[in-house]
């Protein structure tokens, strides 16, 4: 009984240290963000080659109940619950919903994702991360987007146990948005697919961030696209 209680306490502590990305702006959880498989457990994705690395959906194909209207060029907060408690990089990707699909029913498959946000660590005696401890990440929606519906993918990679293959923890979700007011000149140089964008042994994914302290860091995936 004592062993069972101890294991339960360890599992609860681990769950509290993890997090989800359930909302954007000042909206309710899972109103515009697709419910993720970790919506109760808070557990991460660890296999970069799994379909879960795309949007980590609990019920693929069902979508969220709403599509959030946003103006191109504005800033949209992507919210963590309770906070981003682990060290590592934060990135946000965007993909335009193709003709004949909606943000609620498109699966996001294919080489369609462009990175629009990436933070970087401060280097020195240790690696410190601007997103660690944050409850929301402000993301600028490119002013040059074509009007229409998009999926917005939040991704935080926790690197505290990332010294071996499969040790990095990915916390992911996808929001459904509709963009208006864009100039329509968006022409990204790099588009990637999920899975496919990352390799488990990429030095930005498999890394010991503690010793020896890295003197540089290269995040996985493409560079950030700008207008």
Beta-sheet strand order (sheet of 169-180): 68-71, 169-180, 148-158, 90-96, 114-118
The answer to whether residue 202 is domain-embedded is no
The answer to whether residue 134 is domain-embedded is yes
φ, ψ dihedrals at 63, nearest 5°: 75, 175
The answer to whether residue 83 is domain-embedded is yes
The answer to whether residue 117 is domain-embedded is yes
Give the CATH number for residue 31.
2.70.50.70
Domain count, the chain: 1
Share of the chain above pLDDT 70, in %: 93
The answer to whether residue 142 is domain-embedded is yes
Domain that holds residue 141: 19-180
The structure tokens 């030095």 sit at 203
- Partners of 173 in beta bridges: 154
The answer to whether residue 217 is domain-embedded is no
The answer to whether residue 205 is domain-embedded is no
Tens-digit pLDDT profile for residues 205-215: 999 999 999 99
Determine the 3-state secondary structure of 205 from DSSP: coil
Tens-digit pLDDT profile for residues 75-118: 999 999 999 999 999 999 999 999 999 999 999 999 999 999 99
Tens-digit pLDDT profile for residues 28-59: 999 999 999 999 999 999 999 999 999 999 99
Backbone angle region of 29, left / alpha / beta, with phi > 0 → left and psi within -120 to 50 → alpha: beta
Q: What is the mean pLDDT of residues 191-199?
A: 98
What local confidence, expressed as pLDDT, does residue 116 receive? Answer: 98
The answer to whether residue 28 is domain-embedded is yes
């Amino acid at each position: 009984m004592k062993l069972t209680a101890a294991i339960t306490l360890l599992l609860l502590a681990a769950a509290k240290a993890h997090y989800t990305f359930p909302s954007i702006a000042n909206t309710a959880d899972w109103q515009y963000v697709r419910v993720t498989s970790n919506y109760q457990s808070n557990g991460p994705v660890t296999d970069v080659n799994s379909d879960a690395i795309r949007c980590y959906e609990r019920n693929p194909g069902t979508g969220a109940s709403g599509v959030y209207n946003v103006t191109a060029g504005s800033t949209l907060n992507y919210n963590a619950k309770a906070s981003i408690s682990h060290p590592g990089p934060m990135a946000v990707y965007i993909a335009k919903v193709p003709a004949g699909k909606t943000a609620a029913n498109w699966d996001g498959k294919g080489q369609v994702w462009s990175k629009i946000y990436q933070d970087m660590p401060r280097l020195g005696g240790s690696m410190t991360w601007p997103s660690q401890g944050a409850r929301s990440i402000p993301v600028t929606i490119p002013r040059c987007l074509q009007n229409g519906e998009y999926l917005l993918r939040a991704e935080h990679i926790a690197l505290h146990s990332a010294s071996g293959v499969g040790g990095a923890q990915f916390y992911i979700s996808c929001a459904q948005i509709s963009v208006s007011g864009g100039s329509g000149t968006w022409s990204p140089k790099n588009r990637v697919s999920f899975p496919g964008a990352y390799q488990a042994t990429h030095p930005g994914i498999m890394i010991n961030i503690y010793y020896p302290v890295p003197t540089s860091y290269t995040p996985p995936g493409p560079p950030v696209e700008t207008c």
